[in-house]
Amino acid sequence: MTRIAFMLMALWTIAFYNPILTKAQSEGLKIGAATKIITPELDSWVQGAGVPKKASSVRDELEANGLYFSKGDFQLLMVSCDFAGIEPDLNVRLREAMGAATGILPRDILISSTHTHGGPSLLKTNYLMPLDTAYMKDLLPWMVALAKEAVAAAQPGKIGWAEGETQIGYNRRLTWADGSHSMHGDASRKDFAGLEGPDDPQHLAMFAADLKGNLLSILYHNTTHPTIFYADGVFSADFPGEVRKTFRKEFKKSLPVLFLNGAQGDISMENMLDRKSESDEEKMKKITNLVVGETMRLYKNIEYQTDPVLEHQYHDLKVKVRLPETGTLIRSKEILKRIDEGENIRGMEMIMAFGSVHLQETFGENPFDILPVHGIRIGDLAIVTQPCELFSQFGLDIKRRSPGKSTIVVGMTDGYNGYCPTIYGLLGGGYSGSPISWTRLEPEAGYKIVETSAILLNKVWAK
């Protein structure tokens, strides 16, 4: 190669890897937000029911809410959807289409699920309930439109956040004198031996505003299972929907509001040590008041930043998958055969049988899974996202090792890869402990997520 050719190649390489910033890229912090109704049609399957049910009514609309940040060559679009979760392949299709429509790199688009149990059937967790493929086709253009609207709405702005505490989630894994563990149970039993793990009452609220102080969006984070209308046969965003309504009455009708759920695999709204008899609407009012009250308390003294440090890195963590034992698989196939023949086997027996067979069929020939873990820095706020129903202890461990002043650990983001229990959960067994399709990860998976999160956060802080 001649010297001139070498210099031309070098100049081309520099230009390719260090492109000249456009005017838009060189500007300071811009924020855009948007909201989109994504409610399925009536008589569609409702996700999260132990018994398969179709929706007979819509209690409140399901939504996707997006918050977009740009600064220099940094772009990030965070989307909160009223889903129980979405399978990784659908997540990839959505982020690719949204990226192509907006110019955002697809891996800089993070789709999170609130984990409402009143959403569409997007996870294969019930033998008698198919995935709603017709809804998936409708969803793609809705999500593309949301992304385009959020980017088009971007304007110079400022963000502020504050951390508080409100407990809307409690550990739901009970241990018993014989060494077994269960998801939920009667803690007044004589053989009750204590809760398996901790909970996390952290509440964080982020407020995005234009330079005049007008709110563009609210993002809040807490850790629980939104299951108020579980198995009721209605479409509902659960308490996140009611919280949105309340904020919109306070500020403006179309305000985008994002809920990012935490490490809630072993957490529920019910306090196992103090069970109360409440109607759905009573529980809804109580949880909504707690969330809105603490968020508004934090809002009163919020301090905004117009030039926060923004960084983002991710790592696709490869982990092994546990497969069912041969005896379990044989018994599970027999149960499904009896269901096919008309026997009325429902509830946990059907769920565990189907989960075992589906696990073997999906991962039997290649027992590995990919967990996308993201580390984000917004000023002094650290955000970790991962795609599992992570047990609460892991979330606490990530926060303990974070360099951020405040840290939130967000679950069911960039896909859904099922429960991720601690060693205690695996030893105790039961639902979320025994290997089924959505509790498939190797025993070390949660600990590897903690390690990966710590590495990513320290990288974005070092930059």
Per-residue model confidence (pLDDT) at position 11: 40
Helix-helix angle 445-462:392-400, to 10 degrees: 30
Domain ranges across the chain: 30-319+367-462, 324-364
This prediction's pTM: 0.92
Once rounded to an integer, what is the mean pLDDT over residues 97-105? 98
pLDDT at 7 over 60: no
Per-residue model confidence (pLDDT) at position 438: 94
Per-residue model confidence (pLDDT) at position 432: 85
Among candidates 445, 440, 446, which has minimal Cα distance to 323?
440
**Structure tokens of 309?**
């440090």
- 212 confidence band (pLDDT: 50, 70, 90): very high
- 430 confidence band (pLDDT: 50, 70, 90): confident
Once rounded to an integer, what is the mean pLDDT over residues 409-434? 94
Q: What is the pLDDT of residues 271-313, one digit of tens each?
A: 999 998 999 999 999 999 999 999 999 999 999 999 999 999 9
- 141 confidence band (pLDDT: 50, 70, 90): very high
pLDDT at 14 over 90: no
The values of phi and psi at residue 336, to 5°, are -65, -35
Q: Is residue 66 classed exposed, middle or buried when 0-12, 13-18 and 19+ CB atoms within 10 A define those classes? A: buried
Percent of the chain with pLDDT over 70: 94
Q: What is the pLDDT of residues 166-183, one digit of tens each?
A: 999 999 999 999 999 999
Q: How big is the chain by its Cα radius of gyration, in Å?
A: 23
pLDDT at 123 over 50: yes
**Structure tokens of 83?**
């889903």
Q: Which residue has the higher pLDDT, 17 or 217?
A: 217
Q: Is residue 6 classed exposed, middle or buried when 0-12, 13-18 and 19+ CB atoms within 10 A define those classes? A: exposed
Percent of the chain with pLDDT over 90: 89
Per-residue model confidence (pLDDT) at position 2: 44
pLDDT at 5 over 80: no
pLDDT at 259 over 80: yes
Per-residue model confidence (pLDDT) at position 48: 78
Cα-based distances in Å from 304 to 55, 162, 208: 42, 10, 8
pLDDT at 193 over 50: yes
pLDDT at 234 over 90: yes
**Structure tokens of 332?**
């599970």
Q: What is the pLDDT of residues 324-347, one digit of tens each?
A: 999 999 999 999 999 999 999 898
- Does residue 64 contact residue 146 with C-beta atoms inside 8 Å? yes
How many whole angstroms separate alpha carbon 25 and alpha carbon 227? 42
Per-residue model confidence (pLDDT) at position 1: 45
Once rounded to an integer, what is the mean pLDDT over residues 134-158? 98
Helix-helix angle 347-363:326-340, to 10 degrees: 120
Q: Cβ atoms within 10 A of the Cβ of 268, count?
A: 20
Q: Which residue has the higher pLDDT, 26 or 83?
A: 83
pLDDT at 10 over 50: no
Return mean pLDDT, the chain: 93
- 15 confidence band (pLDDT: 50, 70, 90): very low
- 49 confidence band (pLDDT: 50, 70, 90): confident
- Does residue 71 contact residue 310 with C-beta atoms inside 8 Å? yes
pLDDT at 8 over 50: no
Per-residue model confidence (pLDDT) at position 460: 97
pLDDT at 192 over 80: yes
